[in-house]
Amino acid sequence: MALAYPWFLLGLLSLAVPIAIHLFELRRPKRVLFTNVGFIKEVKLVTARQRKLKQLLVLIARIGFLTFLVLMFVQPYILAPVEDNKVQSQVGVVVDTSPSMQAGISDDQSLFEQAVKQARELPTAYPVTTNFSLPALAQPQSSAAYQVIIDKLSISGQGNSVLSDLLRLQRGVRRTEQAFVFSDFQKNSFPIQSLNKLDSTQHVFLVPVGGNKELHNAFVDSVWLNDAFVRSNTDILLNIRLKSGGNVAVNDCQVKLYVGEKQAAVFRTSIPLEKPVTTTMRVRVDGEQLTQCRIELEDYPVVFDNTFYFTLQPSPKIKVLDVATGATATRQLYANEPLFLYEAAKPGSSDYRQVEEANLIVLQGQERVDAGLRESLSRVVQRGGSVVIVPPAGVAGRASYDQLFKILGVGPVQWEKAGALPVLREVAVPSVQNPFFKDVFGTQNRQPVMPKASPVLSWSRSGADIMRMRDGDGFLGSYSSGKGTVYLFSTPFDNTYSDFTQHALFVPVMYRLAMQSYQRQQQPAYWLNQGTIAVNVAEEVATAKEAEQVFKLSKDSSTFIPSQRLQAGMLRFDVPAEMREPGFYNLTSNGRIVATIAFNFDKRESELAAYSADELRQLVGANHPNIHVYDASTGKSVAAKYRAERVGTPLWQYCLWAALACLLTEVLLLRFFRQPKAVEATAVAA
């Protein structure tokens, strides 16, 4: 045991006062009256021994009061096992505010509430002059201000990882020599290897608040459609994948699907550990407007991820422009499918504005390409459209095609010699692993019959070829150009050079080329921590002439203005840090709704597998002597553990209670330990 302020022991000289009073207390003699007439009354005599006992007890109580009062100012304490004589002027604190902290450790307290409680008591382990730093604050705060800020913390769907926050505390003017981390330490978001990045001179105290309680948690892992296009008033197949994020399986979980405000489906399912369950159901979207959808789970006690929000937007028709002369095989192909908006144009009389608005341009059978059309096709791919080039059989316009290839970045391409007779060769069977041919080839017992062609173009073999000839030459190649794609056939669609237009592959290949030209920028759902999001903006909104065109995100009564950049009809904005809650947010500009976006918590937060205190100690081991692990589930506060380990156990509180007990003892002795009345001696007169 040691004394914090030993010079206060001089106060023990005050013990002489009650001792002097006890020794020199003078008692006045008491007068005893008796008469020679009357009766003699019997009384209880007070002996000298009784008087001395009471006076001795009072003296001991007074001495004890003064002694413990002095010791309270001396502040004795039990020495700490770990010596840390350096006084900390600044301490860093990281409190995990990720959604997973909403999981409960009991029916009335969550992990986040436990972490806040532990962090709030931390100043009691340090001198009053100690300041505390938080990652979100620019300057350290006093203990009182720190506790106010801790009480205002709330769960955020886009909070930083605890390791990134900890690294921020080690840099710049906010650098601290000690830091406490209060978190559940999820295994999928706390890589132990990252501890090597920490400054070895800083003492880090990891405080897991989760414990090892069994939890079951069902959540929506992903939602997708079997078709890339959402068709209104038509049944579509929606796949819902559910996973178990706890440490026990989920049994008989009820799932409800809402399309708009209508309940479209309800079912029950059981989800085993580490094995997702996928359910497919038919849904229908009415009208052409975006529909807000959600999936609700009945799963307790973890409820923060029980609702998954997403949107279904009926796909607009894909604009296909066929630049050709006369009847073509693609006319009937695209015109009979409601998904496409087909138009045909002649090269000499085509409206170049019409060309630039199309999603897919099919340029086939043209002898030459004029300069105006070349520029229009270049602008199509620059904005993200697709161009399909079918070369001509003639040789007169090959120079114009070479210029087009150069502008579009296609090449190097070689033409076959003029006058050569076409020799039909068989096209190779495409690989079933190629995503382009997904669901095109079914299960077959024999080799499929492929079309034949006589190429007039050839190019170097590359991984961008979609279809090839058996000898390795390209038949259909793809080239990235700007934001779009250029598809190049090596043969004309003339029956003399190819029978591809009569083959069964013609329809799925041309459909797939058109479908890939449609770029859906807005996804059905986003994460709150996704960062930057790109959204297509309607032309009338993008070209609005309002003096101040600011895009805002609003939900209920909350409105946020994100960092944004509008370019070529594409709005890119950063998810505001203040957006913490999932749900549907309206993207507005000058009071007009531009888009409705669904935000959810990151699904990784639903994986509740976390490190316990013992696991953290084993993983940290002896490689990181500056990293310590405190277990917050033992019932003892972290502040008390830190004091006992590094500051010592203070005893002044016990001295205070002992002094008050001595004072109370003295009061009780004086109040209830009374002297009996003096003797009244009586005698009979002689």
pLDDT digits (tens, 9 = 90+) for 8-58: 888 888 888 888 877 776 454 556 555 554 444 444 445 556 677 778 888
Asked whether the predicted pLDDT for residue 194 surpasses 50, the reply is yes
Confidence at residue 683, expressed as pLDDT on a 0 to 100 scale:
43
- DSSP of 138-205, one letter per residue? SS-B-HHHHHHHHHT----TTPPPHHHHHHHHTSGGG--SEEEEEE--BTTT--GGGGGGS-TTSEEE
The fold of the 526-600 domain, in CATH, is Immunoglobulin-like (2.60.40)
Which residue did the predictor score with more confidence, 445 or 390?
390
Alpha helices by DSSP H, listed for 398-447, are: 398-408
CA-based radius of gyration for the chain: 42
pLDDT digits (tens, 9 = 90+) for 537-590: 766 565 666 556 789 999 988 999 999 988 767 889 999 988 989 999 999 988
Would you say 283 and 570 are in contact if contact means Cβ atoms under 8 Å apart? no
- Closest listed residue to residue 595, CA positions, set 540, 526, 538: 538
| Residue 420: burial class (beta carbons within 10 Å; 0-12, 13-18, 19+) | exposed
Give the count of beta carbons closer than 10 Å to the beta carbon of residue 519: 13
Confidence at residue 518, expressed as pLDDT on a 0 to 100 scale:
78
Asked, as a colleague might, if the bond just before 18 is cis with ω within 30 of 0, I would say: no
Asked whether the predicted pLDDT for residue 426 surpasses 80, the reply is yes
If pLDDT is split at 50, 70 and 90, which confidence band does 636 have?
confident
Query: Mean pLDDT throughout 120-126?
Result: 89
Query: Mean pLDDT throughout 593-600?
Result: 92
Q: What string of H, E and C letters represents the secondary structure of 542-581?
A: HCCCCCCCCEEEEECCEEECCCEEEECCEEEEECCCCCCC
Confidence at residue 254, expressed as pLDDT on a 0 to 100 scale:
95
Would you say 15 and 67 are in contact if contact means Cβ atoms under 8 Å apart? yes
- DSSP of 592-617, one letter per residue? EEEEEEEEE--GGGG---B--HHHHH
Confidence at residue 682, expressed as pLDDT on a 0 to 100 scale:
44
Confidence at residue 147, expressed as pLDDT on a 0 to 100 scale:
92
pLDDT digits (tens, 9 = 90+) for 289-336: 899 999 999 988 888 999 999 999 888 888 999 888 777 888 888 888
Which residue did the predictor score with more confidence, 434 or 592?
592
Confidence at residue 255, expressed as pLDDT on a 0 to 100 scale:
95
pLDDT digits (tens, 9 = 90+) for 466-494: 889 988 888 999 888 888 899 999 999 98
- Closest listed residue to residue 211, CA positions, set 185, 193, 180: 185
Instruction: Tell me, rounded to whole angstroms, the distance of Cα 441 from its chain centroid.
Output: 40
Give the count of beta carbons closer than 10 Å to the beta carbon of residue 527: 18
127-131, 269-273, 310-314: range with lowest mean pLDDT: 127-131
Would you say 133 and 93 are in contact if contact means Cβ atoms under 8 Å apart? yes
CATH superfamily to which 218-314 belongs: Immunoglobulins (2.60.40.10)
Torsion of CA 331, 336, 339, 341, to 10 degrees: 40
pLDDT digits (tens, 9 = 90+) for 655-671: 889 989 998 988 888 87
Average pLDDT, the chain: 83
Domain 318-516 = CATH 3.40.50.880: yes
Token pair for residue 9?
A: 């022991």
Token pair for residue 265?
A: 């489906």
Confidence at residue 263, expressed as pLDDT on a 0 to 100 scale:
93
Confidence at residue 413, expressed as pLDDT on a 0 to 100 scale:
87
Confidence at residue 370, expressed as pLDDT on a 0 to 100 scale:
86
Is 526-600 the same fold as 90-213+608-637? no
Question: For the chain, what percent of residues have pLDDT higher than 70?
Answer: 85
If pLDDT is split at 50, 70 and 90, which confidence band does 145 have?
very high
Q: Where are the domains of the chain?
A: 2-79+651-672, 90-213+608-637, 218-314, 318-516, 526-600
Question: For the chain, what percent of residues have pLDDT higher than 90?
Answer: 25
What is the dotted CATH code of the domain comprising 90-213+608-637?
Answer: 3.40.50.410
Give the torsion sign (CA, 466, 470, 472, 473): negative
